[in-house]
Structure 1
Amino acid sequence: MLNRYPLWKNLLILLVIAVGIIYALPNLFPEDPAVQITGSRGAIEVGSSQQNRVERALEAGGITPKAVSQENSTLLVRFNHADEQIRAKDLLQAALGDDYVVALNQAPTTPEWLKSVGARSVNLGLDLRGGVHFLMEVDMQAALEQQLNVTASEIRTTLREERLRYRQVSVEDGQVRVLMASQDLLDPAQSRLMSDLSEYQFTQEPEARLLVLSLDEHAVREVEDYAVDQNLTTLRNRVNELGVAEPLVQRSGRDRIVVELPGVQDTAAAKRVLGATANLEFRLEAKRSADPLDVEEFEYRDRPGRTAELERNIITTGNNVANASVGFDENNNPQVDIRLNGQGGRLMSQATAPNVGRRMGVLFIEHKTRTKVVREDGERVEVREPYTERSIISLATIQSQLGSSFRITGIGNTQEASELALLMRAGALAAPIYFVEERTIGPSLGEKNIERGILSIQIGLALVVLFMLAWYRTFGIFACVALTTNLVLLVALLSALGATLTLPGIAGIVLTLGMAVDANVLINARIKEEIYHRGVSPQAAINTGYEKAFATILDANITTFLVAIILFSVGTGPVKGFAVTLSLGLLTSMFTAIAVTRMQVNWVYGKRHIQRLPI
């Protein structure tokens, strides 16, 4: 009885190992410390003039970059050392100004031939590679003001439908103030509005013909909680759009949100997209005969100095956008195709049906902050000042009644259209958020963790190899080759699947090595038992050892795999990292411990009759 694999099975095993080596290779090419420069918004491009400014600024600062390259509208500057990278970031940000985002990055050095087959290095978690930590603050005052503005718009519509004449509806000092045409209309207006706005407290100022609405304390807290929860959901969606692996987005205190982006490649884009508090408002163009109090004037976004007047009433906002994608119009100019949800489609239909032939404006709203220096007690102090920019991106004639699907034209370029679509698709923020703290977690701590993690793997692997060689001799060599192959295949799988490796993940790899060699111990022990206790021939012992041990190995691995699935389902980020490497390691160890070792045994002993096995 001889032990042989058919040719196709040997070739298949060798092919799997070869593919694993190729996809594990990128991890041998360390990344370069770099800074990435992009425009603060899509309309600002980074070209050759900015590259010249960067090179002059670095030369003046005594920093010699490793390379400077430009891709699309992004400038990437590579350095030889991390300390040069950090110095260059501050230097370039001061030289380029607030119109550009200068962010720390890690530039891959993987050869192009590996990239062409989709091979990439393993994503490292925040504890290994470093990353970006953002602390954001939700503007609660703006959240309340937005809610009051929506209420004011509803009040105007209701009073018009009920033919209750009013002079003005405004939002002032956290209240909605309704100026009626006469005192006699105060009671009917209050009676009608109270049925729809039960969360508001109503007070009257008869002499001034004013009806004042204010939110009670419980309603204010609900608005604030909704703003934070909605912003959490939106930020998670935006991070998912960026493709960041295992991010952390969670609430911190009453009005703050923590965002951590481990292993992120494009930190500049992350900051721009996360920090963009953009929203849309759809309004009708104001008629010439409109009351000046019901009209607002705005500039065009891409044509400064040119203005148009829009009604104060808002048809709907970006909060009702269900989906958005980039397309091109008949002139091959970029556009954003919008699909509204049920409520947004109904509001759009009701507003456009009687206004066919009029123009509708799309108002783009951005909440930003700027830092200004003030003097307090004789000292210069930097103060963060929030401000809002509102501009028109489109003003087009309504050709027919609109429903839930339509398009926005008049956008500057494709990149700007892509960013607008991303923001709308990921969801609008319920309230503006501001960066309170931005901290780049450097690679120093990560390098120590990586060094210690690799050292633990090396020590564990060395001890296992020594034991297997001493106890099982030639069969120990087979097991050690399979163990090394197992490690290569595991790294290749982590790279190919885009999984994120964390410190607990390294612990999972160490445990996987123990699980893998355990399978070979079972097989070798069974072969020894067949030879020395049952007296069967070496060839028969090999065959029986693999067949009889398989059921035990499979049972043990399935049990552990179920535990890994449970850990991944209910665990947090670090626990999930451990579960991912453990579960993938179980799959690779089953393959290497059984198929790879059996192939080696067959090569050495399968084609000849032997009297004694060195085991």
Structure 2
Amino acid sequence: MLQIPLWNRLFIIAVVLAGLAFAMPNLFYERVERYNDALAEVEETGVTSDAAAEALSSWPSFLPSTLVNLGLDLRGGAHLLAEVSVADVYEARMDALWPEVRDTLRDLRDTVGTIRRQDAPLGELHVRVSQPEGLPEAVSAVRGLGQPVASLTGVGASTLDVRGEGDLLIVTLSEAEREATDDRTMQQSVEIVRRRVDEAGTREPTIQRQGADRILIQVPGIGSAQELKDLIGTTARLTFHPVVGRTDDPQADVASRQMILPSMDEEGTFYILEQTPVVSGDDLVDSQPSFEQQSGLPVVTFRFNTTGARAFGEYTAANVGAPFAIVLDEEVISAPVIRQAITGGSGQISGNFTVESSTELAVLLRAGALPAEMTFLEERTIGPELGADSIAAGEMAALVAFAAVLVFMIASYGLFGVFASTALILNVGLIFGVLSLIGATLTLPGIAGIVLTIGMAVDANVLVFERIREELKTARGPARAIELGYERALSAIIDANLTTFIIAVILFALGSGPVRGFSVTLGIGIMTSVFTAIYVTRLLIVTWFDRARPKTIEV
């Protein structure tokens, strides 16, 4: 008999109502968006401003506030394609390795004689020894500084390649270590860009690695590509260097492994610094804007990790009375004299900061320094007007497809077509409910997936209705025909939708950007359309049949 248990009916109704409840806030998008922003601001600051209170009162707190995030092509925003100079990291690695190599060779002074670092190509460390006959022993000793490569592809390999040529000791990263370093550099760059963008409070940015050394950055809602470049383009590389001297000549001759950098505050003043830093911003664990207690001027406080605190403490203890420079992005912020050993692992950066600039610097330092320079190969700004036009076009396409499907179903199947059309309306609501619940981002390809789902959603109903038509010729009464129609069409419905769902999963796994947006809405649409076809439409038909008790039916 044509029966649906009470618990099954209640479950179907509960799922539909829950989906529609999560989708409903999208009808009041701007109001709910302001509510969510105000709620996030209050949770972060603990203070409820007048504007936040007004926004919080605009939406009942007991209702869901889930929204479908709008992608770059619908909301407007900025698009950047950046190339990371991964080779820059090799030079930094060699600079960091030099003190260890120097100490190792000093222990072999009787064998290799005096040592002196020489200028070398990018990513190489050259050391000249005065006794070339001791070079093989030096090569062996420096080779011992290498570590196993920390990657699956470099198992068993060392991080360093060391060789001797004449009186030169040449140290480079091994090929396996270069590949591992490139991968880590890209992962770190992607993560730091993500932190900086998230710190700015933007919604649902797309930050993805593309190829070997490129990063795709798409941020909806931001004003321009230049604004995005200003946010992520600064390396915010903080280093602390010993000061050799001061000069007003930027072209002054300096010794090897020294450099001249301008002062940020004193125009025309340049500092001669040791090229190898004492400690770098990589060892920072926190940075906050603050105010200097005596003067009340804005400053930026910082705190090192254990390694950085130890190195900083040892250097300041050994150089009391000597100046040292705080360098940010190739400019000397300040060059104070060390009054006493700084062993607490924390300090502050003072300069001509405003409240805004100190906050921005703290954000950049807290997010971390980009490990290598980024070059922007492509930039694009999409205005909100274009996004609004895209939304209008997408809505028109969806409405036309929706109307055409409704007319076709009602004309072909009469009252049963009305039931299928009602389920189709609920299906679209469920799609938006699921998208809102998981915080998915809707793009133009995503709208295309929804439009395609609208056309495909009635396929299951067509299979069922055609099967009911066939069963009406042989079955005993309409109730039995409806029951057999659903039973015997089920396998075909599952087979047809399962193959399409597998394709959606493959597109999501292998695709990126617009392809993923299309696959997400397509996959969700398949699941909701199967649910509405098998359960919702059947519940509508059974409810009508229980009330009308027709002797015959027309499909």
Specify the alignment match of 1:277 in structure 2. Answer: 235
More displaced, 236-245 or 276-285? 276-285
Q: How many Å apart are 1:555 and its aligned residue?
A: 3.8
SS in 2 for 1:232: helix
Cα distance in 1 for partners of 2:393, 2:514 equals: 17
Alignment of 1:227-376 (within 5 A): 231-241=185-195, 242=197, 244-250=204-210, 257=214, 259-263=216-220, 265=222, 270-281=228-239, 314=277, 317=280, 324=285, 365-367=327-329
- Long gaps (5+) in structure 1: 33-68, 72-108, 205-211, 287-291, 368-387, 401-406
Q: How many Å apart are 1:470 and its aligned residue?
A: 0.7
Select which of 435, 439, 447 maps to 1:506.
Answer: 447
Select which of 392, 415, 420 maps to 1:479.
Answer: 420
SS in 1 for 2:217: strand
Alignment of 1:129-528 (within 5 A): 129-136=75-82, 146-147=92-93, 149-163=95-109, 169=117, 171=119, 185-187=130-132, 193-195=138-140, 196=142, 198=161, 231-241=185-195, 242=197, 244-250=204-210, 257=214, 259-263=216-220, 265=222, 270-281=228-239, 314=277, 317=280, 324=285, 365-367=327-329, 388-391=330-333, 397=341, 399=343, 408-410=346-348, 416-423=361-368, 428-429=370-371, 431-435=372-376, 438-442=379-383, 450-528=391-469
SS in 2 for 1:277: coil
CA contact (8 A) 1:122 1:491 kept: no
SS in 2 for 1:607: helix
Q: TM-score, normalised by structure 1?
A: 0.60
Cα distance in 2 for partners of 1:149, 1:600 equals: 74
Select which of 574, 577, 588 maps to 2:514.
Answer: 574
Cα distance in 2 for partners of 1:587, 1:481 equals: 17
Cα distance in 2 for partners of 1:600, 1:28 equals: 34
CA contact (8 A) 1:26 1:119 kept: no
Q: How many Å apart are 1:564 and its aligned residue?
A: 1.9
Cα distance in 1 for partners of 2:280, 2:486 equals: 66
Residue 270 and residue 595 in structure 1: after superposition, are their counterparts in 2 closer, same or farther (change >3 A)? farther
CA contact (8 A) 1:505 1:578 kept: yes
In the TM superposition, what whole-angstrom CA distance separates every residue of 1:226-270 from its partner, at most 9, and x where no partner exists? 886555333322344346444444359xxx745331535587885
Q: How many Å apart are 1:476 and its aligned residue?
A: 0.9
More displaced, 308-317 or 240-249? 308-317
CA contact (8 A) 1:235 1:249 kept: no
More displaced, 294-303 or 228-237? 294-303
For 1:276, give the aligned amino acid: T
Cα distance in 2 for partners of 1:245, 1:339 equals: 30
Q: How many Å apart are 1:135 and its aligned residue?
A: 4.7
Q: TM-score, normalised by structure 2?
A: 0.66
Specify the alignment match of 2:18 in structure 1. Answer: 16
Cα distance in 2 for partners of 1:300, 1:397 equals: 24
Q: How many Å apart are 1:24 and its aligned residue?
A: 3.2
Cα distance in 1 for partners of 2:166, 2:333 equals: 35
SS in 2 for 1:118: coil
In the TM superposition, what whole-angstrom CA distance separates every residue of 1:544-578 from its partner, at most 9, and x where no partner exists? 44444444433433333223222222223333222
CA RMSD of aligned residues (A): 5.4
Residue 577 and residue 327 in structure 1: after superposition, are their counterparts in 2 closer, same or farther (change >3 A)? same
For 1:118, give the aligned amino acid: S
SS in 2 for 1:439: strand
What percent of counterpart residues are identical? 29
Select which of 508, 532, 543 maps to 1:592.
Answer: 532
CA contact (8 A) 1:131 1:442 kept: yes
Cα distance in 2 for partners of 1:390, 1:9 equals: 67
SS in 2 for 1:533: coil
Q: How many residues align?
A: 480
SS in 1 for 2:331: strand
More displaced, 358-367 or 21-30? 358-367
For 1:119, give the aligned amino acid: T
Specify the alignment match of 1:554 in structure 2. Answer: 494
For 2:210, give the aligned amino acid: Q
Cα distance in 2 for partners of 1:601, 1:170 equals: 86
